[in-house]
Amino acid sequence: MQRLVLVLALLFPAAALSEPISGYQFMEPSTRQLQDDDFLNPAFFLVERGRQLWDGAWPGAPEGAASCQSCHGAPESSMRGVSARYPALDPATGKLVNLELKIQSEIARKLSAEPPQYESADLLALTALIAFQSRGMPLDVPTGEKVAGWLAQGEEIYTTRRGQLNLSCQNCHGEHWGQKLRGDTISQGHSNAFPIFRLIWDEVGSLHRMFSWCMEAVRAEPYEYGSEEYLALELYLADRGRGLTIESPGVRR
Ligand code: HEC
Ligand code: HEC
């Protein structure tokens, strides 16, 4: 029996390890309960705000101007599964975009309006609304030659030690998950619940805000929200989390 286990371990060394575990599993029961119940989930007001923005004329737009709704119809059908596929190459530009950047460009191009800034309540609201439509669906970002360079860049950033503490993302989320760090249990650092309501922020934040928080935790200089570095990292993380389902909008400590 023991020999069999050993042989299996040698044959499939990575399989057991590479089964991704959602950050949800590392949360206290009280935090999980907040995510489990849409009425208690403090991120939910943003989904509702997102729905108002989706349905109505964009703030400041002339009467009768197009809205998300007038082109796309109900988000429940038109946006189902969309966020599971992002970040993706934008057909219009050929560039890698995440959901936030895609929404910004929709507002600029299709509504001819000034897009809300990254991390603004309006952008988080539309992001939460659209991500929510993929809840329960598996992460399914693009693979293959066209994104290979982005994935390689993401992996490079993920595994590079940085900051005064000289730690990489991989050091904490790949090698030390399950361990305690200043009141947190370090998870595998997956992206499947964003945007999240984070209790210690007392508000909703994007994945890129989380990246910056982690970089600051090791006293490294963070990149800009929406930067190529963060997009590459986002794609790499979604690929690394393949098998997980979307929980957005999530709740974390
Ligand atoms: C010093 C250890 C440490 C390092 C290094 C670190 N993180 Fe984190 N990270 C944390 C802690 C602690 C949390 C909050 C608890 C948790 O969810 O893991 C967290 C949370 C996260 C989450 C949210 C997980 C969820 O389920 O909501 C993501 C995503 C993440 N980190 C990505 C990264 C990336 C990308 C890097 C590298 C740029 C990085 N982290 C570097 C400690 C670290
Ligand atoms: C004038 C019509 C029009 C308006 C207004 C419009 N869209 Fe779109 N949208 C489209 C079309 C057509 C596409 C597909 C082609 C593309 O990606 O540009 C699209 C694509 C998208 C996608 C990507 C879907 C995918 O499958 O990858 C998202 C997300 C999106 N729109 C969100 C929005 C949001 C949010 C608004 C409101 C702020 C909005 N759109 C307003 C026509 C519109």
Question: CA 156, 232, 196, 216 torsion: positive or negative?
Answer: positive
Which residues make up each annotated binding site for heme c? 68, 71-72, 169, 172-173, 214
Which ligand sits closest to the CA of 51? Answer: 2
Query: Is residue 240 classed exposed, middle or buried when 0-12, 13-18 and 19+ CB atoms within 10 A define those classes?
Result: buried
Task: Give every residue of the chain whose pLDDT is below 50, as ranges.
Answer: 1-17
Whether ligand 2 lies within 6 angstroms of the CB of 92 is answered as yes
Look at domain 21-40+141-252 and name its CATH class: mainly alpha
Which residues make up each annotated binding site? 68, 71-72, 169, 172-173, 214
Radius of gyration of the chain from Cα atoms? 19
Which fold, 44-132?
Cytochrome Bc1 Complex; Chain D, domain 2 (1.10.760)
Tell me how far apart the terminal alpha carbons of the chain are, to the nearest angstrom: 41
The answer to whether 21-40+141-252 and 44-132 have equal CATH topology is: yes
Q: What residue type is assigned to position 33 of the chain?
A: Q
Q: Tell me the two tokens of residue 12.
A: 């499939």
- What's the pLDDT at 10? 39
List the residue whose alpha carbon is closest to atom 31 of ligand 2. Answer: 106
The ligand 2 atom at the shortest distance from the C-alpha of residue 85 is 27
For residue 143, how many C-alpha atoms fall within 13 Å in the half-sphere facing its CB?
7
Closest CA to 139 of 13, 69, 235, 6: 235
Catalytic site positions: 214
66 CA distance to ligand 2 middle (Å) = 11
H or E element in which residue 235 lies:
helix 228-240
For the chain, the domains span 21-40+141-252, 44-132
List the residue whose alpha carbon is closest to atom 42 of ligand 2. Answer: 71
- What's the pLDDT at 3? 42
What distance in Å separates the CA atoms of residue 145 and residue 216, rounded to the nearest whole number? Answer: 33
